[in-house]
Amino acid sequence: MDDEALGARGLVVGYRGHEVIDGLDLALMRGRITAIIGANGCGKSTLLRALSRLLPSEGTVVLDGRDTATLSTREIARRLSVLPQGPSAPEGLTVADLVARGRYPHQRWLRQWSETDEAAVREALERTNMTAFAGRPVDELSGGQRQKAWIAMALAQRTDTVLLDEPTTYLDIGHQAEVLDLLVELNVSAGRTIVFVLHDLNQAARYADRVIAMERGRIAADGTPDEVITPETLRAVFDVEAHVVADPHSGAPLVIPASVPLTVRRAAPAAS
Amino acid sequence: MSGLVALAIAVGVVAMLSIGVGSRFIPPGSVLSALFSPGGGFYDNVIWELRVPRTVAGLVIGAALGLSGAVMQGLTRNPIADPGILGVHAGAAFGVVVAIYVFGLLDFRAYVGFAFAGAALVSAAVWLVGSRGRDGATPVKLALAGAAISAFIGSATSLVLYADSTAFDEFRFWSVGSLAGAKADLLLAAAPFLAGGALLAFGVIRGLNALSMGADVARSLGQRVSLVRGAAALAVVLLSGTAVAAVGPIGFVGLTVPHVARALAGPDHRRVLPYSALLGPLVLLGADIVGRVVAIPSEVQVGAITAAVGAPVFIWFVRRRAVREL
């Protein structure tokens, strides 16, 4: 496929006899935002890590039309950046130093730091609104600012494809929106292909072109948010009864779990 | 940069003190004339045969210990890691015991090769065990493999020492660690190993920086994690294995110097490594000078001094919360 940025053919991940993913095929289109959702332990992070070559796997991972087995770690890192879940920086490392490390895949022994590196770091800090924090140690920032610093590092890598594992987990609602808006902005203005694993279904519905729901290591549903975020899929994948309505702001599907409200429970305490 | 210059000047001052100060008093004027215009002076021998080699040993061994400690802590992301985790000390001690007990060698100089071979073999074994499995040599697996194998080798060493009192007596002197036995030919023999280790250490700086953010991030930044870990471990073994072979086990320097370096220079290994390479000789030579003068006319070995003098300083340092997480 011409416009496939990243794909998998017959992907198998895990130890023999304990395959987390057993024969998965996937094609992720260039310039799109894809959200991977699924219950805890369904293999969604495993898939992301296998696609970004952080985990060894069998089968083929195709990046920009090339089998990643034929690419060096450095060549992969120039085409694809990945932000793992909950990364940690050594104490005292400044935001500017962290972001500068995003340039490692572009540097060589003899060519240590160039104008391009400088420009990439500056641009990454500006895009994430972190320029004012450049001199601050990462460990002294709030959770939301810290996450933006890490995203800035991934941006400084200047790759066409960016993968993120639960980029909004542990952030407050304001920072969640800020991080996701930033990723959408990157997609729209810079054409980056973005793939993220998300826990929050409403975020997946609102911020992605395509949603992939995983269940026990295979793809259970795959399509637009409207196609995937349905009561039937939620029941099958998450074992939850839920209403799906149109979100009044964006029109995207909005999930409302159908658990018994507190007031109803209090009114009938003897039911159980 | 100014910090490095200041440290380098401090090292120079300590080196001059080390040449000038000893259990035998030599007037400063005679020290200088022996150094800069040697030629039959009364003290030429003492200065050139004893104090200069001893000072050079303190400089290079101190740098090796500081560097290997910094690389070890970067490799394992563990602030209490020292080269001992890789089994370097246990292996060297076992090598010396084999030299004494099996080969009946009673010459301090003969232990060097055995100590280095022991250090290299045992750390290779630790590496092989600790890097099994598809995720490679993770810090936890290395630490566990190192602890288990060091304990095993240590008990073998103890068995021999308890059974054989001659071996025990000989071993006792080796096991304290001293710069006094360092002679020019020994230093020349050690130089290629130390130079190789130092080159490797400075070569993996970027890899260590990447690893300091976790193996996943390091890989995502294009680093070949197992290659970086292997090269870093080899650097540690070359540096600390040569150090322990040349002057015996000297603890504390490798553990504490990187902490001081990080407090002064921040977490970037481009700065931590040079700072550690200068702080190491500063601490080691400083301790050695103290050891020469606290018990005049006899001497206290430097291995006994580093911890005795260094520990209170380090505790003060920790209490100031200047120690950084990795």
**Do the beta carbons of residue A221 and residue A206 sit within 8 Å?**
no
pLDDT at B323: 64
Q: Does the CB of B151 have a partner CB in chain A at under 8 Å?
A: no
**Do the beta carbons of residue A202 and residue A254 sit within 8 Å?**
yes
Q: Which residues contact A39 (CB under 8 A, 6 or more apart)?
A: A215, A237, A238, A239
* Candidates A73, A88, A157; nearest CB to B214: A88
Instruction: Look at residue A201 and tell me if it is in a domain.
Output: yes
pLDDT at B258: 92
Residues on chain B touching A72 (C-beta within 8 angstroms)? 222
* Candidates A81, A102, A104; nearest CB to B223: A104
**Do the beta carbons of residue B207 and residue B218 sit within 8 Å?**
yes
Residues on chain B touching A98 (C-beta within 8 angstroms)? 213
Chain A residues within 8 A (CB-CB) of chain B?
49, 52-54, 56, 72-78, 81-84, 87-94, 97-98, 101-102, 104-105, 107, 139, 154, 157
Instruction: Look at residue A150 and tell me if it is in a domain.
Output: no
How many domains does chain A divide into? Answer: 1
Residues on chain B touching A86 (C-beta within 8 angstroms)? none
Q: What is the CATH number of the domain that holds A41?
A: 3.40.50.300
* Candidates B209, B220, B325; nearest CB to A54: B220
Q: What percent of chain A has pLDDT over 70?
A: 97
H or E stretch covering A2: none
Instruction: Look at residue A244 and tell me if it is in a domain.
Output: yes
Task: State how far residue A161 is from chain B, nearest Cα, in angstroms.
Answer: 12
Domain coverage including residue A37 = 4-92+158-271
β-partners of residue A27 are A7
By residue count, chain B amounts to: 326
Nearest to B76 by CA among B212, B238, B207: B212
Residues on chain A touching B213 (C-beta within 8 angstroms)? 87-90, 98, 101
**Do the beta carbons of residue A138 and residue A110 sit within 8 Å?**
no
Interface touch B267/A91, C-beta < 8 Å: yes
Instruction: Look at residue A9 and tell me if it is in a domain.
Output: yes
H or E stretch covering B8: helix B2-20
Determine which of B75, B204, B221, B262 to mutate to test the interface with A (most A C-beta atoms within 10 Å).
B221
Half-sphere exposure (Cβ direction) of B250: Cα atoms closer than 13 Å: 39
Can you tell me whether residue B37 is helix, strand or coil?
Answer: coil
- Tell me the DSSP string of A8-41: EEEEEEEETTEEEEEEEEEEEETT-EEEEEESTT
Residues on chain B touching A105 (C-beta within 8 angstroms)? 221-222
Which tens digits make up the pLDDT trace of A101-160?
Answer: 999 999 876 667 888 999 999 999 999 999 999 999 999 999 889 999 999 999 999 999
Q: Does the CB of B199 have a partner CB in chain A at under 8 Å?
A: no
Structure tokens at B58: 């303190």
Q: What are phi and psi of A59, to 5 degrees?
A: 85, -165
Determine which of A61, A104, A140, A158 to mutate to test the interface with B (most B C-beta atoms within 10 Å).
A104
pLDDT tier for residue A1 given thresholds of 50, 70 and 90: very low
What 8-state DSSP symbol labels residue A55? Answer: S
CA A149 – CA A96 distance, rounded (Å): 9
Structure tokens at A66: 């090339």
Q: Does the CB of B224 have a partner CB in chain A at under 8 Å?
A: yes
Structure tokens at B282: 């500063």
pLDDT at A132: 95
- Compute chain A's Rg from CA coordinates: 20
Instruction: Look at residue A142 and tell me if it is in a domain.
Output: no
ipTM: 0.89
Nearest to A72 by CA among A91, A92, A53: A53
Instruction: Look at residue A232 and tell me if it is in a domain.
Output: yes
Task: State how far residue A52 is from chain B, nearest Cα, in angstroms.
Answer: 8
Which tens digits make up the pLDDT trace of A173-228?
Answer: 999 999 999 999 999 998 999 999 999 999 999 999 999 999 999 999 999 999 99
Q: Return per-residue pLDDT of chain B as tens, 326 residues.
A: 688 999 999 999 999 999 888 777 788 888 888 888 777 777 788 888 888 899 999 999 999 999 999 999 998 888 778 877 888 888 988 888 888 888 877 776 778 888 888 988 998 899 899 888 777 788 888 888 999 999 999 999 998 888 888 778 778 877 877 888 778 888 888 899 999 999 999 999 999 999 999 999 999 999 999 899 999 999 999 999 898 888 888 888 888 899 889 988 999 999 999 999 999 999 999 999 988 888 877 788 888 888 887 788 778 877 776 666 66
By residue count, chain A amounts to: 272
CA B254 – CA B277 distance, rounded (Å): 10
Burial label, B28 (beta-carbon count in 10 A; 0-12, 13-18, 19+): exposed
**Dihedral sign from CA coordinates of B212, B217, B222, B226:** positive
CA A208 – CA A228 distance, rounded (Å): 12
The model's pTM:
0.89
**Do the beta carbons of residue A155 and residue A186 sit within 8 Å?**
yes
CA distances from B77 to B234, B240, B282 (A): 17, 18, 25
Determine which of B217, B227, B229, B269 to mutate to test the interface with A (most A C-beta atoms within 10 Å).
B217
CA A54 – CA A188 distance, rounded (Å): 27
Q: Which residues contact A150 (CB under 8 A, 6 or more apart)?
A: A83, A87, A98
Which tens digits make up the pLDDT trace of B221-255?
Answer: 999 998 999 999 999 999 998 988 888 888 888 88
CA B186 – CA B188 distance, rounded (Å): 5
Nearest to B214 by CA among A87, A151, A164: A87
Task: State how far residue A69 is from chain B, nearest Cα, in angstroms.
Answer: 14
CA B111 – CA B130 distance, rounded (Å): 28
Instruction: Look at residue A146 and tell me if it is in a domain.
Output: no
Burial label, A5 (beta-carbon count in 10 A; 0-12, 13-18, 19+): buried
CA A189 to chain centre: 18
Can you tell me whether residue A210 is helix, strand or coil?
Answer: strand
pLDDT at B292: 87
Structure tokens at A35: 């959200």
* Planar angle of CA A214, A220, A226, nearest 5 degrees: 95
CA B240 to chain centre: 5
Determine which of A88, A94, A106, A195 to mutate to test the interface with B (most B C-beta atoms within 10 Å).
A88
- Which structural domains are found in chain B, ordered by start? 2-319 (1.10.3470.10)
Q: What percent of chain A has pLDDT over 90?
A: 73
CA A138 – CA B258 distance, rounded (Å): 21
CA B236 – CA B254 distance, rounded (Å): 10
β-partners of residue A212 are A36, A222
Instruction: Look at residue A203 and tell me if it is in a domain.
Output: yes
pLDDT tier for residue A268 given thresholds of 50, 70 and 90: confident
What 8-state DSSP symbol labels residue A196? Answer: E
